[in-house]
A and B are shown apart, each in its own frame.
Chain A
Amino acid sequence: DAGVTQSPTHLIKTRGQQVTLRCSPKSGHDTVSWYQQALGQGPQFIFQYYEEEERQRGNFPDRFSGHQFPNYSSELNVNALLLGDSALYLCASTLYRGPGTDTQYFGPGTRLTVL
């Protein structure tokens, strides 16, 4: 049973560039959430995708966008990178089928460094 996977593991970009991060959900899961974890802080919700649509969004600017594919995998895109975008980006997946089935499982994350 494959867990949540993310690629790449590490990424170094310069200010103003654009980046795409990828996530494959746990087998059987159909909902993907993205979180940003700055050093020494808890994960902050970016957005969630279900049925190829953004279902909910946290307090992040429009520079952050995403996509979900028919196979439930997802991408996170960040445009016009800022130094403050340096963080660990985590993907979490779940298969929601009613109360009690919404446990989120996290991937290993992508460490983004913006210089």
Chain B
Amino acid sequence: GENVEQHPSTLSVQEGDSAVIKCTYSDSASNYFPWYKQELGKRPQLIIDIRSNVGEKKDQRIAVTLNKTAKHFSLHITETQPEDSAVYFCAAHISGSARQLTFGSGTQLTVLP
């Protein structure tokens, strides 16, 4: 089955700096890669996703890149703010099938004021 590895497990940045979180996946059939943000005690919320027919997607301060050949994808947050502090999860999925989302182990991002 699919295996998703996520790094780093913790990340501290100064407010205004950029943060990068990286994930690798094992199943080359995976073609949908969402990123979720989970604040303490709250539900995971989708912040951005990318499908395998594109290499990069951007939404304001958040961007995701995908390298299908290397089977890795990354989340980039620019101009970080204290409210960006949360746990971020990457996931992989085979679109068009009944298969589940396979999640990474999460990254605790702390933005220091």
Contacts and interface: CB of A to CB of B under 8 A. Distances in A.
Interface residues of A, number: 27
Contacts, number: 59
Given A42-B89, A103-B46, A56 B98 contact: yes
B76 to A, nearest CB: 20
A8 interface: no
Interface stretch (B14-22, B66-74, B78-86, B102-110): B102-110
Contacts of A45: 100-102
A56 B46 contact: no
Nearest to B104: A42
Interface string A98-115: 111011111111000000
A43 B60 CA distance: 27
A35 B1 CA distance: 16
Interface size class of chain B, counting residues whose CB lies under 8 Å from the partner chain: 20 to 34
Interface of B: 6, 31-32, 34, 36, 42-46, 49, 51, 89, 91, 93, 95-96, 98-106
Interface string A80-97: 000000000010100000
Contacts of A58: 100
SS class of chain A's interface: helix, strand, loop or mixed? Answer: loop
Interface string A40-76: 1111110010100001101000000000000000000
A90 B100 CA distance: 13
B89 A43 contact: yes
A54 B51 CA distance: 26
B45 A106 contact: yes
Of A35, A42, A106, A108, most B-chain CB atoms within 10 Å? A42
A102 B44 contact: no
